[in-house]
Amino acid sequence: MPRSDESGTVTRVEPTGGVQLYAPTVDDGTDMWRLAGAAKTLDVNSRYSYLLWCRDFAATTVVARDGEQLAGFMTGYRRPSLPETLFVWQVAVSSTHRRQGLARRMLDHLADRVTPHGVDHIEATVTPENLPSTRLFTSFAAAHGVELKRDVLFSEEMLGDGHDAEIRFLIGPLSGGS
């Protein structure tokens, strides 16, 4: 089932069981904001920021819907100074869809969409205790047979307020389609 965004670009909707994956439209922003809050593990941004994200970064973001319910989302952007690198910023999966491989399917879907457009690395940051995200990025790198490098991007001191360090995961180089 195709969808089109504000620019008229038609995006492919990928069925994965009952869940469909696609690039978001502004209409998905409020549900993304709600899911970010319900996740209890993300730094929740304003509703406005999710609406803007869906408008301006739809090409590097994926949403997953199970019927009318938002099952998950993954936000990302191409780094301005390194446009061949996709930075994955937030990953959220609803409680009813966890432990079913949805985050991995969203990451694979997003990689399939961006690698034909010159993206050859995926970057993300993960706090040390975030085992689901660590498993997600580690399994993605292993499945694609590419290197995964880890280093500290932002230390606890830089982040302050008791925030753990953000460990940078750099995955690649990826080939032109997963």
pLDDT tens digit sequence for 92-135:
999 999 998 999 999 999 999 999 999 999 999 999 999 999 99
pLDDT tens digit sequence for 29-79:
999 999 999 988 788 889 999 999 999 999 999 999 999 999 999 999 999
- Find the helix or strand (DSSP H, E) in which 106 lies: helix 102-114
Residue whose structure tokens are 């990025």: 137
pLDDT at residue 17, rounded to an integer: 58
Residue-range domains of the chain with CATH: 10-172 (3.40.630.30)
pLDDT tens digit sequence for 1-34:
444 444 444 344 454 458 999 999 999 999 999 9
The residues, any chain, with a CB within 8 Å of residue 93's CB and separated by 6 or more, are 39, 64, 71, 72, 102, 103
The whole-angstrom separation of Cα 35 and Cα 92 is 7
Going from the C-alpha of 150 to that of each of 2, 110, 139, the distances in angstroms are: 37, 21, 14
pTM higher than 0.85 for the full model? yes
Measured between alpha carbons, how far apart are the two ends of the chain, in Å?
22
Largest separation between any pair of C-alpha atoms in the chain? 47
Q: Chain centroid to CA 114: how far?
A: 12
